[in-house]
Amino acid sequence: QQQVKQSPQSLIVQKGGISIINCAYENTAFDYFPWYQQFPGKGPALLIAIRPDVSEKKEGRFTISFNKSAKQFSLHIMDSQPGDSATYFCAATPNQAGTALIFGKGTTLSVSS
């Protein structure tokens, strides 16, 4: 019940295309859903986050869609660029201070030029 399932494991997208990464969870206590971007040899960096009181959040080319009833959320990267090539992790937490982030297994995105 603590798991966050993420798919696909890897993704190849043409420059200018849309990248879509999906995550699902079971624990209804999860209340905060961030996405992190990680480049090789670096720490995860927060990309965008959502709470379940909204169904969508957009920041620039990055959009989170959230389906509370299905317990699913997804990251859409519009107009994907080679610089977006990285590993993306979804995560979830009950959003109480000091509680663990539960990460998905990650998606390695390659954007070809």
Round to whole Å and give the CA distance between 34 and 47.
Answer: 7
Tell whether omega for the bond before 8 is within 30 degrees of 0, i.e. cis: yes
Q: How many chain residues bind other proteins (CB under 8 A)?
A: 23
Which positions from 72 to 111 touch other proteins by CB under 8 A, shown as an x/- string? -----------------x-----xxxxxxxxxxxx-----
Among 32, 61, 71, 110, binds other proteins (CB under 8 A): 32
Shortest CB 42 distance to other proteins, Å: 6
Q: Is 82 helix (H, G, I), strand (E, B) or coil?
A: helix
Q: Which window, 16-24, 37-45, 63-71, 77-85, contacts other proteins (CB under 8 A)?
A: 37-45
Sign of CA dihedral 64, 2, 45, 79: negative
Question: Is 75 within 8 Å of 20 (Cβ atoms)?
Answer: yes
Shortest CB 15 distance to other proteins, Å: 26
Q: Does 36 bind other proteins (CB under 8 A)?
A: yes
Which amino acid type is present at position 82? Answer: P
Tokens matching residue 6: 């993420």
Q: Does 34 bind other proteins (CB under 8 A)?
A: yes
The label of the residue with tokens 């999860």 reads 30
Which residues in this chain contact other proteins in the complex, by CB under 8 A? 32, 34, 36, 41-46, 49, 89, 95-106
